[in-house]
Amino acid sequence: MFSRNVVVQGKQSSKDTSFLGISLSDHPKPDFSPLALKGCRQRGVSAGGVRAQTAAVITPAVTRSPTDGKKTLRKGSVIVTGASSGLGLATAKALAETGKWHVIMACRDFLKAERAAKSAGMNKENYTVMHLDLASLDSVRQFVRNFQQSNMPLDVLVCNAAVYQPNARQPSFTADGFELGVGVNHLGHFLLARLLLDDLNKSEYPSRRLIIVGSITGNTNTVAGNVPPKADLGDLRGLAGGLNGLNSSAMINGGTFIGAKAYKDSKVCNMLTMQEFHRRYHEETGITFASLYPGCIADTQLFRHHIPEFRFLFPLFQKYVTKGFVSEEESGKRLAQVVSDPSLTKSGVYWSWNKNSASFENQLSQEASDPEKARRVWEISEKLVGLA
Ligand SMILES: NC(=O)c1ccc[n+]([C@@H]2O[C@H](COP(=O)([O-])OP(=O)(O)OC[C@H]3O[C@@H](n4cnc5c(N)ncnc54)[C@H](OP(=O)(O)O)[C@@H]3O)[C@@H](O)[C@H]2O)c1
């Protein structure tokens, strides 16, 4: 049932025209030896058989220590895309330092990721950097092949990486000719998640999860989501046309290119995709599908394409005016919670946190929870990435 299967830079305006384009508030003993990992992979079964097998035998993710007879859980194995900075790095660090997780940092800049892990104080035993450029479908496929050849199990996949070009006047494009924001944030992750679903399903880890990071900026049922330009996928004509800016618009709704809107639209696609995964695969596989809004982490590199004044003022504004500011460290703990907390296993949920940093199930906007739109985004996306 499951398939196994040049970025051209746009111009940045010299003037910050999109301050309002950013939302004001979006802002037991582990065993991870190669032998143990190999064993895990070999014990994998095909889709659909996992639940019956894990119910019938001792859960293979749990090993018995020969000396004391106690059950021990092997380390969880989690892929985090875009783990070289911001939320992804903070999440990788939070998970790695528990000693219970091995983090595969899926990054486009290998050296940057290695340096980031080192400067975050991550122990080499707890992470592996693997190359992934989401702006190239070939790179996504190559990453999946490399990962599968590594014999590491896959227990959780976190689709976190993103680009945001709020001041771009012209669209940039991925190697496959898709507008960069939707190409990287949605289509690259869509292909990655589809290709790795079977690996997730083969894992015998107690809780398998696929997490796609969302955002309040794509949700027009919030104040932040109502800051223009608002997310709006329209009738998907631009997406259906391939987002190439030649014979179709670079925007999903077929409209004129607006960088901030492209990002918000991509986040709507992320949240719709999570729900469509849930509808199609949760009952059959038991995998938990989830999305989240980690809070406004106003000082990450996501804002790198903004003018320096914006980057200086925006975190201060979030800290002292809206009081919605969340540190990278805190946001990393939140996402790590969605990865590993035994109480967050509900599938199809969009998580948020209140002022006391307590998690709760949040409501998505009408568009970001529209099942018909989710189905159409899924079907068009699978054609664009070559799965249909
Ligand atoms: N910051 C916020 O306030 C906020 C709020 C809501 C949601 N989010 C979400 O949080 C997630 C992380 O954002 P962030 O704030 O942590 O931003 P960030 O610091 O800029 O991190 C983005 C990551 O994505 C990577 N990336 C970009 N293009 C890529 C590509 N083509 N292939 C592979 N990786 C690529 C970056 O790699 P390089 O290091 O090589 O550039 C970086 O590791 C995003 O999904 C964003 O939408 C953020």
| pLDDT tens-place string over residues 194-217 | 999 999 999 999 999 999 999 999
Q: Measured from the CA of 297, which atom of ligand 1 is nearest?
A: 3
- Average pLDDT (34-48) is 35
Is pLDDT above 80 for 293?
yes
**What is the CA(80)–ligand 1 centre distance, in A?**
11
Q: Enter the tokens of residue 279.
A: 């509808």
- Tell me which residue of 187, 144, 168, 208 sits closest to 4, measured CA to CA: 144
Q: Is 95 in the pocket of ligand 1 (CB under 6 A)?
A: no
pLDDT at 11: 31
Give the residue whose CA is nearest to atom 42 of ligand 1: 82
Which range (77-81, 196-200, 310-314) has the least confidence? 310-314
- Tell me which residue of 334, 322, 329 sits closest to 359, measured CA to CA: 334
- Average pLDDT (300-314) is 94
Give the residue whose CA is nearest to atom 24 of ligand 1: 161
pLDDT at 54: 26
pLDDT band at 223 (very low <50, low <70, confident <90, very high): confident
- Is the pLDDT higher at 39 or at 284? 284
Share of the chain above pLDDT 90, in %: 78
- Average pLDDT (344-368) is 96
Q: Is 315 in the pocket of ligand 1 (CB under 6 A)?
A: no
Active-site residue, 293 included: no
- Average pLDDT (70-92) is 92
**What is the CA(165)–ligand 1 centre distance, in A?**
12
Q: Residue 254 belongs to what H/E stretch?
A: none
Q: Which domains does the chain have, with CATH numbers?
A: 76-385 (3.40.50.720)
Check: CB of residue 206 under 8 Å from CB of residue 15: no
Is pLDDT above 70 for 242?
yes
Q: Is 159 in the pocket of ligand 1 (CB under 6 A)?
A: no
Largest CA distance in the chain: 67
Q: How far apart are CA 25 and CA 86, in angstroms?
A: 17
Is pLDDT above 50 for 38?
no
Q: Measured from the CA of 7, which atom of ligand 1 is nearest?
A: 31
Tokens 């990002």 found at: 263
Q: What is the DSSP letter of 131?
A: E
- Average pLDDT (237-261) is 96
Which range (56-65, 291-300, 355-364) has the least confidence? 56-65
Check: CB of residue 350 under 8 Å from CB of residue 214: yes
Alpha helices in the chain (DSSP H): 34-42, 50-56, 86-96, 110-119, 137-149, 180-182, 189-202, 237-240, 259-277, 283-285, 308-317, 328-340, 371-384
pLDDT in tens, 122-143: 999 999 999 999 999 999 999 9
pLDDT band at 340 (very low <50, low <70, confident <90, very high): very high
Q: Enter the tokens of residue 235.
A: 């009738």
Reduced to 3 states (helix: H, G, I; strand: E, B; else coil), residue 278 is helix
**What is the CA(266)–ligand 1 centre distance, in A?**
13
Tell me the whole-structure pTM to 2 decimals.
0.87
- Average pLDDT (72-81) is 92
Q: Is 335 in the pocket of ligand 1 (CB under 6 A)?
A: no
Name residue 157's beta-bridge partners.
Answer: 79, 210
- Average pLDDT (77-86) is 98
Is pLDDT above 90 for 37?
no
Given the residues 127, 263, 281, 293, the one annotated as active site: 263
Q: Is 301 in the pocket of ligand 1 (CB under 6 A)?
A: yes
Q: How far apart are CA 160 and CA 143, in angstroms?
A: 16
Share of the chain above pLDDT 70, in %: 81
Q: Is 129 in the pocket of ligand 1 (CB under 6 A)?
A: no
- Is the pLDDT higher at 301 or at 11? 301
User: What type of residue is 236?
Assistant: L
- Average pLDDT (223-251) is 95
**What is the CA(162)–ligand 1 centre distance, in A?**
4
pLDDT band at 173 (very low <50, low <70, confident <90, very high): very high
Q: Is 115 in the pocket of ligand 1 (CB under 6 A)?
A: no
pLDDT band at 371 (very low <50, low <70, confident <90, very high): very high
